Structure 1
Amino acid sequence: MRTHTSKPSAETAPSGRLPLPALLALATAVFVTSLTETLPAGLLPAMSSDLAVSESAAGQAVTVYAVGTALTAIPLSAATAGWRRKRLLLTAMAGFAVANTVTAVSASYPLTMAARFVAGVAAGLAWALLAGYARRLVPVPLHGRAVAVVMAGVPVALSLGVPAGTFLGGALGWRVAFALMTVVAVVLVGWIALLVPDVPGQEAGRRVPMMRAPAVPGVVPVLFVTLVFVLAHTVLYAYIATFLDRVGMGGSADLVLLVFGGASLVSIWVVGAGIDRRLRGLTLASVLLVGAAAALLAVFADVPALVYAAAALWGLGWGGAPTLLQTAVADAGGDQAADAAQAMLVTLWNAAMAGGGVVGGVLLGLFDATAFPWSVLTLLVPVLAVVTGAREHGFPVRRGGA
């Protein structure tokens, strides 16, 4: 949906600087999207008690959100391809405000789940356009850096937002946490309206049909890597507390995740600094770092210091992955197919997150929590093979325009 991708915006053309007020607004949109998805994880006991359901049933608030995103990202992206980007982003953020408001006041479990589904739909809209929007606000040589700034919202949400939301939920009640998310979304709507430049949607005559995007060279390798890499990550991340409990570190889950989150922030900075020149090398490093972390957890999980080292390596490898994969699929899609490819990436990402929970549950039932790191290593083998082999398209040695 980028009819003018190769042209710098009026803001950035003279100096080549990033339009930080606009990009930080998009990063805040990513923060809202990620935190709205994961916030229930830290509030499950209070939510289940208040809604009179089991914690397992309350936990479906995360699943329903992911299902809403996975089911609607592709059709909604196709239906809104011609919309101006600012209008579409404002619509998505308004959807978050409504959904979080309903969640905060609802006393009905079905109504709460419906609100969570609507939030997932809003996330599908947002995720499918944010990376492309960021790229269209800057000159071509700054595309990757702009996406890195925007994607910083993910590790900030995971490392700071979720603990803060959990603390507020415990101190003031879980409904207050969701109400504050509404306040953030409303403020963000005003921020976007005032400071984010508008760009057009894609002209109908130049638009690649949604389901033809995989035919564009390079798109399929990136989508495959996304599906399997996210699946590998989620198998371990979704059950990290269970794994740590199994190896005698059940009381250290918060510290392990803090190390992971801090390393993820470092990863975002490193990726942002180098992605416009070294996307392929950084992607290979990302996979290898996560693999090294899994290997440490597989072999030395009984050594607490090495578990923390593994968490740091995991964060360094994973933190920049959303930026790397979204940039790779946008590069592969080109002017006509990038947003269609982004919508597919969003769908596969959420399918992999849901699948990771299922696969992890199966592994836990058949084997033991110690099987998680070995499953990650197994899944990373084809990921590494595809990234290595996609030298011409997908993860090229040289990025066009960089």
Structure 2
Amino acid sequence: MSTTTMAKGRALPTSLPWSGLLALSAAAFTAVVTELLPAGLLPRMAPALGVSEAQVGFLVTGYAVASFAGAIPLTVLLRGLPRRPVLVGTLLGFAASNAVVALSSSYGLTFTARLVAGLTGGTLWAMLVGYAARMVPAERRGRAIAIVLAGITLALSLGVPAGAALAQVVGWRAAFGALAGLAVLLVAWVRWRVPGFPGEPPGARLPLRRVAGLPGIPVVLSVTLLLLLGHQVMYTYVAPFAAHAGFGRTGLVLLVFGAATVAGIWLTGVLVDRCLRPALLGALALCSAVMPVLGGFAGTPAVLLSCVALWGVAFGGAPTLIQTALVDASGPAHADVATSLQTTVYNAGIAAGSLTGGVALEHLGAGALPWTSLPLVVGALVTVVLGRRHAFPAVRRRS
């Protein structure tokens, strides 16, 4: 039996290239831990840098803003370069920025290093999904993307807590030093197991506006925005909502949600290549069904935790399904630019959702959060239902 298939002159394995995909997943893991680790180390970093805990929190904000601002222009600037050197460059950027944070006693220098890390992260997120899609045949694209994006889930559920625990034992500087070392090791792994791909030749590079206007792309981006808006309204303020429900153990709520997202991404990896559209409709319908139950019955702990688990399963799988639909719509050749657009929309959804939830919390109280989230998630569901022709077809395109 043949072990390869051909795609534009390149032989692709019919079995999944696990080592290469896990290297990309580890890169995603490193990016998420790099972004969020300062949030768990505020009391430890503030005295060492001579600033308030709020200013240390701005190290996370600065990273996010740089990632948001840099994803599209850097992707467009670098799209003609060979892909593996760009990937290696992003990992070296993480290594350098984390090493500076580990050694710096200056808040200004630390903040600058975090901006560099954010620019690096925006570039990495724009290329990871497209890279995975080019490593496998079209019929295995969804599962490959699920493997890569599992790095995000593992970082949130295990990586960030482990980094915070390591900082308690050996100090926060050593934790950032370990992240720098991990990025260097990843460079070797990528060079060993991740195949090289050429950049886009000049004649094949669609302008940014044309990629954004490809059939299906605006619909996929709209679903991304609506889902992230609805999700962040609740997730950002899960602590005050749990307190409102009379359940003060926020850590347990977050643990249930995190474990459920791991189950969700595993389930998605099984389903995505066979039934992307039904799986996404099911995930969004589940999110939509959970919100009114939380709004009316969260005062019962079993109901609260069950709903949070269902919400985690649904949300854990949704990004992989949406990303796969995006690559289907753009084609692997334009996936980096399309994903840079989605990265920007994703971050905008996080920021706007957190703001919307904060306004609802301040003026209406925590009990209003599920009802604020509900129309946004339902909007994402309706958009998928209506986007049958190009964005979420019943039969996937295999380009």
Q: Shorter-normalised TM-score: what interval?
A: over 0.9
4+ residue runs over 3 A deviation = 4-11
Q: Tell me, which stretches of 5 or more residues in structure 1 are unaligned?
A: none
Answering whether residue 158 of structure 2 is matched by residue 157 of structure 1, we say: no
Give deviations 1:55-74, integer Å, cap 9, x for gaps: 33222222211111110110
TM-score, normalised relative to structure 2: 0.94
Do residues 10 (structure 1) and 11 (structure 2) align? yes
Q: Using a 3 Å threshold, how does the CA distance of structure 1 residues 165 and 395 change in structure 2: closer, same or farther?
A: same
> Which residues in structure 2 correspond to 1:280-319 (within 5 Å)?
280-319=277-316
**Residues 133 and 332 in structure 2, CA contact (< 8 A), matched pair in contact too:** no
> 1:335 offset after TM fit, Å?
4.8
Query: Using the alignment, how far apart are the partners of 2:12 and 2:378 within structure 1?
Result: 43
Structure 1 residues 27 and 308: CA distance shift in structure 2, 3 A:
same
Please give the alpha-carbon distance, in whole angstroms, between the structure 1 residues aligned to 2:363 and 2:277: 37
CA distance in 2, matches of 1:243, 1:347: 28
- What corresponds to 1:326 in structure 2? 323
Q: Give SS of 2:112's match.
A: helix
* 2:207 alignment partner AA: P
Of 35, 38, 63, 1:37 maps to 35
Contact 2:126 2:340 (8 Å CA) reproduced: yes
* Change over 3 Å in CA distance of 1:6–1:230 after alignment to 2: farther
Q: Quick check: 1:31–1:154 contact (8 Å CA) kept in 2?
A: yes
Matches of residues 53-64 of structure 1 in structure 2 within 5 Å? 53-64=51-62
Alpha carbons of structure 1 residues 60 and 362: separation in structure 2 relative to 1, 3 Å: farther
* Counterpart code for 1:172: V
Q: Is the 8 A contact 2:133 2:327 kept in 1?
A: no
Q: CA deviation at 1:229?
A: 0.8
Mapping for residues 54-93 of structure 1, pairs under 5 Å: 54-93=52-91
Q: Give the distance between the partners of 1:308 and 1:335, measured in 2 at CA.
A: 39
**Corresponding residue number in structure 2 for 1:224:** 222
Instruction: Using the TM superposition, give the Cα deviation of residue 389 of structure 1 relative to its aligned residue in structure 2, in angstroms.
Output: 0.3
1:187 aligns with 2:185: yes
- What is the aligned partner in structure 1 of residue 106 from structure 2? 108
Question: For each residue in 1:277-308, what CA deviation from the matched residue of structure 2 results, as whole angstroms up to 9, or x when unmatched?
Answer: 21111111121222233223211221111111
Mapped to 2, the partners of 1:113 and 1:298 lie a distance apart of 40
Please state if 1:215 is matched with 2:201. Answer: no
Instruction: State which of 79, 93, 96 in structure 1 corresponds to 2:94.
Output: 96
The number of residue pairs the alignment matches comes to 395
Which letter maps to 1:222?
Answer: V
Residue 385 in structure 1 maps to residue 386 in structure 2: no
Deviation sequence 1:324-378 (CA, Å, 0-9, x none): 1211111111255332211100111112222223222222222222222111112
- Alignment partner, residue 258 of structure 1: 255
SS in 1 for 2:153: helix
- Paired AA for residue 371 in structure 1: A
Give the distance between the partners of 1:197 and 1:44, measured in 2 at CA: 39
Amino acid in the other structure paired with 2:377: L
CA–CA distance in structure 1, aligned partners of residues 139 and 107 of structure 2: 48
CA distance in 2, matches of 1:392, 1:333: 14
Change (3 A) 1:266 1:380: same
Q: Distance in 2 between matches of 1:5 and 1:67?
A: 40
CA distance in 2, matches of 1:213, 1:53: 43
How far apart, CA to CA, are the structure 2 residues paired with 1:354 and 1:37? 15
Residues 1:339 and 2:336 aligned together: yes
**Range moving further from structure 2, 107-116 or 25-34:** 107-116
Question: Taking every aligned residue pair, what percent have the same amino acid on both sides?
Answer: 45
Q: Hey, what does 2:176 align to over in structure 1? A: 178
Deviation at 1:7, TM superposition (A): 4.5
Distance in 2 between the 1:357 and 1:191 partners? Answer: 37
What residue identity is the alignment partner of 2:252? Answer: L
Deviations 1:199-245 (A, max 9, x none): 11111101111122122110000001111211221222222223223
Paired with 1:9 and 1:291, the residues of 2 have a C-alpha distance of: 43
AA in 2 matched with 1:90: V
Task: Determine helix, strand or coil for the equivalent of 1:10.
Answer: strand
Moved more, 270-279 or 41-50: 41-50
The runs of 5 or more residues in structure 2 that have no matched partner are none
Of 336, 357, 364, which aligns to 2:354? 357
| Whole-angstrom CA distance in 2 between matches of 1:5 and 1:232 | 41
CA shift for structure 1 position 143: 0.8
Hey, what's the Cα distance between the residues in 2 that align with 1:175 and 1:235?
A: 33
Please tell me the residue identity of whatever aligns with 2:85.
R
For residues 105 and 357 of structure 1, do their structure 2 counterparts lie closer, same or farther at Cα, with a shift above 3 Å needed? farther
1:90–1:189 CA contact under 8 A, matched in 2 = yes
Picking from 384, 388, 393, the partner of 1:396 is 393
RMSD, matched Cα: 1.8
TM-aligned CA distance change 1:356 to 1:172, over 3 Å: farther
Q: 1:19 — aligned with what?
A: 17
CA contact (8 A) 2:290 2:307 kept: yes
- Which one of the candidate residues 269, 273, 276 is aligned to 1:276? 273
Q: What's the CA shift string for 1:151-192, capped at 9, x where partnerless? A: 110110111112111212223322222221111111111110
CA distance in 2, matches of 1:154, 1:47: 24
How far, CA to CA, are the matches of 2:54 and 2:352 in structure 1?
Answer: 17
